[in-house]
Structure 1
Amino acid sequence: MGARNLPRMRVLVVSAPLPGHVLPLVPLSRALVAAGHDVLVATAADAASTVRELGLPVEDVAPEFDFGAVARGIMLRHPLVARAELAGNGGTRGVGLLFGAVNARLVNAVRDVTEQFRPQVVVAEPLAVAGLIAAAGYGVPAVRHETNLFDGAELAAAAAGPVLRKLSIDRLPEPAAVIQVLPASVVGERPGWPMRYEAPAPAAVPSWLAETPNRPRILVSRSTVGGPGNASIMRPLVIAAAEVDAEIVLVRPEPGLPAELPDNVRTIGWVSLDAVLPTCTGIVHHGGAGTVLAAFAAGVPQLVVPGPGDRRYNAELVARIGAGLCVSAREVAAEHLRRLITDDGLRRVSVTIQDQLAARPASAEVAARVATLG
């Protein structure tokens, strides 16, 4: 039965207050809207602005929320955990402390929005456990929408502690369904509804970037989240560029780069990676889950620079499955860039994952399944 044949319903979509967390929820949200359902996204800060710019209804549940202040507070109170997180060795403990504190601050507002919006279904990403708790309190089913390379159940369990203690709840409610975007070849067998990776929104790019160049193109992207532990990605690439027969495109160039760049290095401000990657032979990036997914979907080999949080885990996973290289920022050299664009093994694995993603059900099909829960 298609989603259009089902009764119109209200779906609340809940995300942690970071653009990288809310953007993966946008394709399903758009598919639900296209099927005639009422969707409201509950998030805060920059994530709320991102959703608003994309034209989806949004409720900012904490207009003055300062994610950086929360993160600094956690680091000061837990210095050993902070050290492990900066090294990328914290597992889920540091993530749990940080997003546990975030959810503890947002949960009452999310519950208020739930009472006011009266959804039939709540969709939440793994680190927005406030959504799962609000759904259970209101008596409606919840869907956990996986967005990470880490197992979503582990992330949610790690982040739930502070919220459960605050509300005197014994355990985190189990979701009625789970949406999985990544195939087993990347993350192993995980239960849930498979869904295809889709770009959050169509985006225009300059004509020179929309066309595949005559020689290999390497895209270089850095994190949109500032903070300690983010080593320079672009400076070593600029040094190595002259020895590589490729066009190297720096997205949102880092401060402090030389005023004169090598002839084969170009720069651009913010641009949709999903729109540009099909014209690229390789990508160098910081290891964010969203960028890893975009590269998989484009079938493009990756050179991932490990960093804080989940970025080391993501970088090592990409290298372990053979879809790219894991190289520290201080070690990046011309030989790594040449291998990125010439290694047939890296490309074969990347294209195989691309094909597996493309074969998964589209967001419209998954939206129809979500609609059956309400």
Structure 2
Amino acid sequence: MRILFAPLAAVSHYFHMVPLAWACRAAGHEVRVASQPAITDVITRSGLTSVPLNEAAQPGDREWLKLDMDALAALPPQERLARLRDIRTRQFVAMADAISDDLSAFARSWQPDLVVADPLNLAGPLASEPLGVPLIHHLWGPDVARHLGYPGLGLPLEMWPDELVRLYERFGLKIHEEYVAHTVDPCPDSLQSAKVPNRIPVRYVPYNGSGPVPGWLRGPAERPRVCVSWGYVHTAAAGGQGSRLPDVVAALAGFDVEIVVTVAKADREVLGDLPGDVRVVEELPLQLLLPTCAAVVHHGGGGTMFTAAVYGVPQVVVVPDAIASALLTGPLADSNAGVCLNPDESVDGIKNAIGTVLTDTAQEGVRRLQQEILSTPTPADVVARLERMAR
């Protein structure tokens, strides 16, 4: 069987697809990963075969993330959500248009039996519909896109942007509210905020990139180790402005702990100066670090949240904005597996939350969420279901 993966050109979204793609390869199937050149190296380092699309354009992979969050925050809640959806939809349509010709041509040539796409990759139907093969969505966390309402995810056709309608019609597609046959979902049931149709639960297997284990990480920590992770997406979106990371480090200063701050290499310069006893590491995969940690403080990204849950690490989430608070981290707080704080939480408030998760009071919910994830079907189990779909 030939399986074409079509991620969004964003590292944090792609990482969630990797374990299923590995499982497909291990089962003997052919796998190709088609995306923009911005993540070609990331795909290759994950051990999979990349198909770069629209190599001539090579847009910056973070331009689509940049939003004026202050202006959005000033709007009433419903207007804010609608405005966010409209802005992002235009960006996703532009991304789909940029890869449409190359993706469609490769699909016609390679003839996949299945297409597995990010729900926000609006070019996904262009690879599946003309060939009559199933389109499978692969989520990266709580289904925020379906909650907000995006094309192809139940959004009424009259609300679709004209640019996307014209793009689909150019490739002979009939416009539908939904194109997806099933949705592979690594988000635990208790954290999923949306009703996902034809959902296929899959165990979240931590993959946050590849790299060697550094010497300092090979032995036990001398003090409780706390990871501070600000992720790729929100650092890029903020351009380093208004980051709460200095406040988090200040809150941790009152504890007898080892502080490890993880950043992408491209983001290191926007973090500024940090105290000398803070270890800053670049491009260190979280699946190597978090098993050694007593707690993690982060921005609410799905990769960090789920990786911490798999390893039973209590979490403090300082959400970047009210939208993330409602849709991404609210269920985590409800599960008692972490403490979720508002964007404007004080340093003292962050300190109190860290103190909470470093005690036994936070452990019961953490263990319950960990067991929920470990009891979910593995990617290998899901491959068997994909095989039946293609027959």
Q: Deviations over 1:323-366 (max 9, x none)?
A: 22222366233322212211x34322122111111111111111
Change (3 A) 1:101 1:218: same
Q: How far apart, in 1, do the equivalents of 2:216 and 2:149 lie? A: 42
1:25 aligns with 2:17: yes
Change (3 A) 1:52 1:84: farther
1:105 aligns with 2:98: yes
CA RMSD of aligned residues (A): 3.1
> Paired residue for 1:332?
347
Change (3 A) 1:369 1:21: same
Q: CA deviation at 1:266?
A: 2.4
1:180-219 → structure 2 map (5 Å cutoff) = 180-187=185-192, 190=196, 191-200=198-207, 203-219=211-227
Q: How far apart, in 2, do the equivalents of 1:367 and 1:185 lie? A: 23
Q: How far apart, in 2, do the equivalents of 1:11 and 1:159 lie? A: 21
- Conserved in 1, the CA contact under 8 Å of 2:140 and 2:302? yes
1:237 to 245, 248, 252: 248
1:346 aligns with 2:362: yes
Amino acid at match of 1:213: A
Amino acid at match of 1:354: Q
Change (3 A) 1:84 1:218: farther
1:227 to 237, 249, 263: 237
Q: Deviations over 1:268-293 (max 9, x none)?
A: 22211112111111111122222112
Secondary structure in structure 2 of the residue aligned to 1:90: helix
Secondary structure in structure 2 of the residue aligned to 1:275: helix
1:49-60 → structure 2 map (5 Å cutoff) = 49-60=41-52
- Conserved in 2, the CA contact under 8 Å of 1:210 and 1:279? no
Change (3 A) 1:240 1:254: farther
- Conserved in 2, the CA contact under 8 Å of 1:42 and 1:59? yes
1:66 to 56, 60, 63: 60
> Paired residue for 1:289?
302
> Paired residue for 1:179?
184
Q: CA deviation at 1:111?
A: 1.3
Question: How high is the sequence identity, in percent, across the aligned residues?
Answer: 27
1:170 aligns with 2:175: yes
TM-score computed with the length of structure 1 as normaliser = 0.84
Amino acid at match of 1:341: L
> Paired residue for 1:5?
none
1:128-139 → structure 2 map (5 Å cutoff) = 128-139=121-132
- Conserved in 2, the CA contact under 8 Å of 1:143 and 1:178? yes
Q: CA deviation at 1:309?
A: 9.0
> Paired residue for 1:140?
133
Q: How far apart, in 1, do the equivalents of 2:347 and 2:223 lie? A: 21
Q: Deviations over 1:170-214 (max 9, x none)?
A: 224432222121222111664422211112366532243244424
- Conserved in 1, the CA contact under 8 Å of 2:73 and 2:322? no
Secondary structure in structure 2 of the residue aligned to 1:17: coil
Q: How far apart, in 2, do the equivalents of 1:147 and 1:70 lie? A: 17
Secondary structure in structure 1 of the residue aligned to 2:238: coil
Q: How far apart, in 2, do the equivalents of 1:29 and 1:206 lie? A: 27
Number of paired residues?
Answer: 359
Structure 1 gaps of 5+ residues are 1-8
- Conserved in 2, the CA contact under 8 Å of 1:16 and 1:43? yes
Q: CA deviation at 1:228?
A: 2.7
> Paired residue for 1:4?
none
Secondary structure in structure 2 of the residue aligned to 1:166: helix
Structure 2 gaps of 5+ residues are 154-159
Q: CA deviation at 1:368?
A: 1.8
> Paired residue for 1:306?
319
Q: Which deviates more, 217-226 or 324-333?
A: 324-333
1:357 aligns with 2:373: yes
Q: How far apart, in 2, do the equivalents of 1:89 and 1:350 lie? A: 33
Q: How far apart, in 2, do the equivalents of 1:118 and 1:83 lie? A: 48
Q: CA deviation at 1:311?
A: 3.5
1:315 aligns with 2:309: no
Q: How far apart, in 1, do the equivalents of 2:315 and 2:151 lie? A: 29
- Conserved in 1, the CA contact under 8 Å of 2:315 and 2:337? yes
- Conserved in 2, the CA contact under 8 Å of 1:236 and 1:330? no
Q: How far apart, in 1, do the equivalents of 2:374 and 2:3 lie? A: 26
- Conserved in 1, the CA contact under 8 Å of 2:141 and 2:192? no
Amino acid at match of 2:254: E
Q: CA deviation at 1:10?
A: 0.8
